[in-house]
Copies of this chain bind each other. A is one copy, B any other.
Amino acid sequence: MKCRKCGEKASVNMRQHKLALCREHYLEWVPEQAERFITKYQMFTHDEKVLVAVSGGKDSLSLWDILVRLGYQADGLYIGLGIDAGIGYSAESHRLADKFALEHNLKLHVVDIEKEYGQPIPVMSEISHRGHGKPCAVCGLTKRHVMNRMARDLGYDVLATGHNLDDEAAVLFGNTLSWSMEFLLRQGPVLPSNDGLARKVKPLCRFYEREMTAYALLRGLEYIYEECPFAVGSTSIYYKEVLNRLENDRPGAKLTFYLRFLEARQSGLFVASMNPTGHLHPCTNCGQPTSAPDLCSFCRLIDKVAGQQSLVSNL
């Protein structure tokens, strides 16, 4: 297999695009494509300040690398979740995020959940009884809150996350199997700024997971290989497997599924007038928009965690 651009030996063969490229041209191609998607979906401009959510994994580190190479004003945000699971998951991911920032002379904001809110994610999850014994629901809620808060407090225009096509297609697949309207209406490369929340964007949403792995490897990025230990057995990984089988039988199936969905929505398949979020009010504690009349879900969680702590210290 030869590189389509220079005829040298190809490093990456993308059946779904009928395209093979050598290392050098692959490392050019990925940022070019990312730039194309950023422009096409009007994610942000060179004048805007971007906050990249960095987990230490291949996707978010590649995203940060790409945005900086493209000349965007992109700082990082690392959220320390306090997940150890016998492999020092959070410690290692923090080290790798730090290392990347240092090597590239970039600004990385760090929020440590335990320091800030009293408990690490797994304990907060146990105390709250949310999420059927898994911390994923509490983790998602917390990360969303912290990302929104940091973007607002530090004056960023836009929040960028490293979700790739496999992530997006799996979520879409799940929402489609259950025809969850609220989520179908919100899913896309851009979630517009709303009630004081920064715009959210996913510049990697059209890259296959394996394309991002190839990018990180060929670029020589050091990233954490392990998935979060709590993700094992999750529904989203199950849907990824189903989609991988479809993709394997019909190369391009995953991309087609996602893109046709975006096109269908764009051309008016869904009812535009439906307001998926309903009426929002500012949370009386943190000020972030919520559909609850008083405290938002996150502040209720933190209340519960704090209550449990004072209960323990009173024993």
Residues of A within 8 A of B (CB): 176-179, 181, 184, 238, 242, 245-246, 249, 253, 256-257, 260-261, 263-264, 267-272, 274
Most buried by B among A249, A257, A269: A269
Q: Determine if A179 and B269 form an interchain contact, defined as CB atoms under 8 angstroms apart.
A: yes
With A242-B245, A271-B269: A257-B177 Cβ-Cβ less than 8 Å? yes
Q: How far is the CA of A260 from the CA of B184 in the complex (A)?
A: 13
Q: How far is the CB of A16 from chain B (nearest CB, A)?
A: 14
Q: Kindly identify which residue among B181, B249, B257, B263 contacts A264, using a CB–CB cutoff of 8 Å.
A: B181
Question: Which residues in B have their C-beta under 8 angstroms from that of A179?
Answer: 257, 260-261, 263-264, 269
Q: Determine if B178 and A176 form an interchain contact, defined as CB atoms under 8 angstroms apart.
A: no
Beyond known contacts A177-B260, A179-B269, A270-B271: 12 more, CB 8 A cutoff:
A177-B246, A177-B253, A178-B256, A179-B261, A179-B263, A179-B264, A181-B267, A181-B269, A184-B269, A242-B242, A242-B246, A269-B274
For this complex, 29 residue pairs linking A to B, each with C-beta atoms less than 8 Å apart, are A176-B176, A177-B246, A177-B253, A177-B257, A178-B256, A178-B257, A178-B260, A179-B257, A179-B260, A179-B261, A179-B263, A179-B264, A179-B269, A181-B264, A181-B267, A181-B269, A184-B269, A238-B249, A242-B242, A242-B245, A242-B246, A268-B274, A269-B270, A269-B271, A269-B274, A270-B270, A270-B271, A271-B271, A271-B272
Q: Determine if B274 and A271 form an interchain contact, defined as CB atoms under 8 angstroms apart.
A: no
Q: How far is the CB of A111 from chain B (nearest CB, A)?
A: 36
Question: Which residues in B have their C-beta under 8 angstroms from that of A269?
Answer: 179, 181, 184, 270-271, 274
Q: How far is the CA of A177 from the CA of B238 in the complex (A)?
A: 17
Q: How far is the CB of A153 from chain B (nearest CB, A)?
A: 37
Q: How far is the CA of A246 from the CA of B270 in the complex (A)?
A: 26
Q: How far is the CB of A170 from chain B (nearest CB, A)?
A: 13
Question: Which residues in B have their C-beta under 8 angstroms from that of A270?
Answer: 269-271
Q: How far is the CA of A1 from the CA of B197 in the complex (A)?
A: 55
Question: Which residues in B have their C-beta under 8 angstroms from that of A263?
Answer: 179
Q: How far is the CB of A14 from chain B (nearest CB, A)?
A: 20
Question: Which residues in B have their C-beta under 8 angstroms from that of A245?
Answer: 242
Q: How far is the CA of A176 from the CA of B169 in the complex (A)?
A: 12
Closest chain B residue to A254 by CB distance?
B177
Question: Which residues in B have their C-beta under 8 angstroms from that of A271?
Answer: 268-272
